[in-house]
DNA sequence: TTTACTGCAAAGGGTTTGCATGAGG
DNA sequence: CCTCATGCAAACCCTTTGCAGTAAA
């Protein structure tokens, strides 16, 4: 079971052994609606609806969901970002505007890569993290500050 | 010009517009001899030779070298790691022992991946960051604590 | 009712910054 | 000599931890 737009978030959480609190449902919604947000970005968004929400709670929830396999973790330079797409995939990261979009049209190439690692040096493949940096077709300002 | 075992580090630094101080040469040596070290690991090693060395100096040097294209930056979960191999390549990261080894036997596959990104959505490729997680042939204890 | 989650505050750790001193070219 | 690098300390920011109160199941 995965979380995605259209699925029942409460059910997904409970199947993973997590309680479906209103705060958590809001966190799930923001992760789905936003573009690979950081914990801080989720916090800012959810706080509009739940002013008493604590940043620690956001971290606890996102980390819990990652441990249960509901989210992918993307360590980028400045902070950790979370992705509801738990399928192995590459990310296209724009150097101009900082956008991160999933690049799904390369499953066959990634499959080759995995096979190659098993063949070379007896490496038992488990997971991958693939970021491709460049400039996207329509970079929105502002250019990234980092 | 790249830094690698056998090349003249002082010359590489000066060609990049950096001064070749004894501290910097020691930092370069540690980056070459160690396995994708963090700034802290470089600091601990260089401090044996230069007891007055400051951690801030190590960060300044490594960041400067990264900006000049002498080092690759690897943001991993816990800290940033530095790599003297500036050729595009994949990293094999062992979940058991934390070792990071360059995986060079996949240049053709990575080339395919780059072409594919240009074809898809007009993304202008610039750089890549590819980590493959799994278990290496001979994991040395201890298993990673994180 | 029981267990897990929330909220809050404080601490932790990697990284950056500021500035005076000192050394490289 | 002038510029850049060093060394030291403090600040920064993301993230984690601890604990008492609260809500989910």
Considering only residues B143 and A108, tell me which one the structure prediction assigns the higher pLDDT: A108
Query: What does the alpha-carbon distance between residue A58 and residue A40 come to, in Å, rounded to a whole number?
Result: 8
Model pLDDT for residues A43-64, shown as the tens digit of each residue: 999 999 999 999 999 999 999 9
Short-list B69, B63, B35, B110, CA closest to A130:
B110
Restricting to B residues 6-65, those with a Cβ less than 8 Å away from any Cβ of A are none
Cis ω before B64 (30° cut-off from 0): no
Q: B84 or A5: which carries more pLDDT confidence?
A: B84
Residue-wise pLDDT for B1-26, tens only, equals: 798 988 899 999 999 999 999 999 99
Bridge partners of residue A131, in order along the sequence: A91, B129
d(CA A85, CA B120): 19
The tens digit of pLDDT for each residue in B56-67 reads: 999 999 999 999
Report if CB A67 to strand D is under 7 Å: no
Residue B121 in this model has a pLDDT that exceeds 70? no
Which bases of chain C are contacted by protein, using any atom under 7 A from a CB?
A: 4-10, 14-18, 23-25
Position with higher pLDDT, A97 vs A13:
A13
Rg (CA), chain B: 17
Looking at the predicted structure, is the pLDDT value of residue B145 above 80?
Answer: no
For an interface test with B, the pick among A124, A127, A144, A146 (most B C-beta atoms closer than 10 Å) comes out as A124
For residue A120, pLDDT beyond 90: no
Looking at residue B70, its pLDDT comes to 97
Contact across the interface for A132 and B109, Cβ inside 8 Å: no
To the nearest whole percent, how much of chain B has pLDDT over 90? 73
**CA dist A51 to A19, A20, A30, A32, A33, Å?**
20, 19, 15, 21, 20
d(CA B126, CA B130): 13
Q: What are the start-end ranges of the H helices in B3-92?
A: 9-15, 22-33, 39-49, 55-67
Helices and strands of chain A, counted as H and E runs: 5, 5
At A141, the pLDDT band (50, 70, 90 cuts) reads low
Predicted confidence band at B97 (pLDDT cuts at 50, 70, 90)?
Answer: confident
E strands of B48-123, at which residues? Answer: 72-75, 80-83, 90-94, 100-103
Those nucleotides of strand D lying less than 7 Å from any protein Cβ are 4-10, 14-18, 23-25
Tokens at A34, concatenated: 């936003």
Instruction: Please give the structure tokens belonging to residue A60.
Output: 């606890």
The mean per-residue pLDDT over the stretch A121-134 comes to 89
pLDDT band at A95 (very low <50, low <70, confident <90, very high): confident
pLDDT at A73: 95
Residue-level length of chain B: 146
The gap between B77 CA and C15 C1' (Å) is 14
Mean pLDDT of A24-48: 97
Q: Enumerate domains of chain A plus CATH numbers.
A: 9-83 (1.10.10.10), 89-134 (3.30.1490.190)
Q: Which token pair is A69?
A: 């396999």
**Which region, left, alpha or beta, applies to residue B83 given φ > 0 means left and ψ of -120 to 50 means alpha?**
beta
């Amino acid at each position: 079971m995965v979380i995605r737009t259209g699925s029942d978030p409460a059910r997904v959480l409970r199947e993973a052994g997590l309680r479906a609190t209103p705060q958590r449902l809001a966190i799930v919604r923001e992760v789905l609606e936003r573009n690979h947000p950081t914990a801080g970005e989720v916090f800012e968004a959810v706080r509009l609806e739940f002013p008493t929400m604590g940043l620690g709670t956001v971290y606890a929830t996102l980390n819990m969901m990652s441990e249960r396999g509901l989210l992918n973790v993307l360590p980028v330079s400045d902070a950790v970002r979370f992705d509801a797409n738990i399928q192995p995939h590459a990310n296209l990261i724009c150097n101009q505007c900082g956008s991160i979009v999933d690049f799904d049209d390369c499953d066959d190439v990634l499959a080759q890569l995995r096979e190659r690692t098993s063949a070379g040096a007896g490496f038992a493949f488990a997971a991958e993290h693939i970021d491709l940096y460049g400039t996207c077709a329509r970079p929105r300002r502002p250019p990234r500050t980092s």
